[in-house]
Amino acid sequence: MTRRSDGRPGRCPGRPSAAGAAALLLLSACAGPGPRDAADAEARDDPPGPAPSVPAADVPPPLDPRPAWAAPFSAPPKAAGDGFVGPVMPEESGGDLVFLGIGPDGTTRWSLDRNPSCTAFAATRDADGGDLVVVLDSDADPDGGGFAARTTAAAYRPGAGTLVWGPVEVPGTLVGPGLVFGASAGSVMGAADGPKAALDPSTGAVAADESEGGTVLHEYQGTLLTERDGRLHAVDTATGQRLWSGAGLAPPSHAPAAVPAPGPRPETDASGAVLLEWRQDGETVGTTVHDLRTGRRLAELGTDEEPRLLGTQEGGAVVAGAAPDGGGVLIAVADDPRRLWSRDREPGERPEAIVGGVLYMSTGNPTPEDADGSGVEGEDGIRAVRMRDGASLGEGNWSVPVAAASDGTALLPVASDGPGDAFAALPST
């Protein structure tokens, strides 16, 4: 049973395959055309696909178990604007990878062809809050054994597929978080193999380039975190204005001489929160959670375990880690910024995804797979928790949706009859 919203990272020519995070897609297939001059996506008006059958036992709350339509994507899409954007794999060798913009009613609005080798895409917002989808293209030639000599990025409005900016040359694929690009070391959202660069989502202009010094750490909707000479700096990518610095942050009360350093990176491609480690005499003496835009501290964690941070493009983040006084803690924060709630984390609980305002967690406790009471144990159960207040919505052997539109329509992984993945659209109750 499919449970998580993980993408399907593939293999760039000559590079090893590695597992990656859900938010980004890395695919390889036969060679398509090299980077092309960007233009508006091709307008379409295809009707929704017929709804597939979905076992009610696979559907988590708050979704209606009666599917409305079938999504055409063959790998995990992203919510963008009021609908979805995602890829469709080429049916034949040598074909293009196609990105589709789908409305919340399942209508295909537009399509965009791209080289299928080592492409990627990300959802973001510009300085005015407008939704964007950034799509990569390259001149990689896997059939000929050639690496990409040129990779470009272009941004589109997810509703109509109109071009906003680009193509802009970037040093490699998306490595994240946010619009951070670098030559891939073989994994999605992993360490880049070479200097990274970050783009301003509003214009596509280069906001920071490691070839000019410093380290690019984290970009989110126009806020960029960098490190230079051991000092953290957050800036606005559109204006270059400094928003805050590590030197202006208060250390944990128990370690007044500690200095901040980058903590574990988010496990998703978008997060308005950031983890910082506090170090003293070469040791980590504390970890704090901060709003990326303001630097405001939202929570303090203990050091008994490495924390795990999940964020979303739609807003909000969850941190699972150690409480300062021992034990496990689960903390939810909003992009306002503010702390929404926190509670003790039960043994085995692990946040997996935040979709449509719901946190889905694996519980570490197998639950009965069958419905006849025979007690056959299946995979770990899934617990659904409402993000705004932490209220439990239930627990079961559910699949986990990969994306949700603003009207609550969510895409749930279902059994596929062909290559790639398949997804059913279910409304929210």
What is the per-residue pLDDT across 41-95, written as a single tens digit (0 to 9) for each? 999 999 999 999 999 999 999 999 999 999 999 999 999 999 999 999 877 656 7
Range with lowest mean pLDDT among 10-24, 182-196, 235-249, 399-413: 10-24
Q: Show the domain range for 356.
A: 42-426
- Segment 302-325 shows an average pLDDT of 94
Q: What is the pTM of this model?
A: 0.87
Give domain status of residue 20, yes or no.
no
Give domain status of residue 35, yes or no.
no
28 against 253, higher pLDDT: 253
Q: What is the pLDDT of residues 157-172, one digit of tens each?
A: 999 999 999 999 999 9
Give domain status of residue 10, yes or no.
no
Looking up tokens 């795990």 gives 308
Total domains in the fold of the chain:
1
Give domain status of residue 72, yes or no.
yes
Give domain status of residue 22, yes or no.
no
Give domain status of residue 385, yes or no.
yes
Give domain status of residue 15, yes or no.
no
DSSP symbol at 63: B
CATH code assigned at 216: 2.130.10
- Between CA 133 and CA 140, with CA 139 as vertex, the angle to 5 degrees is 105
Give domain status of residue 127, yes or no.
yes
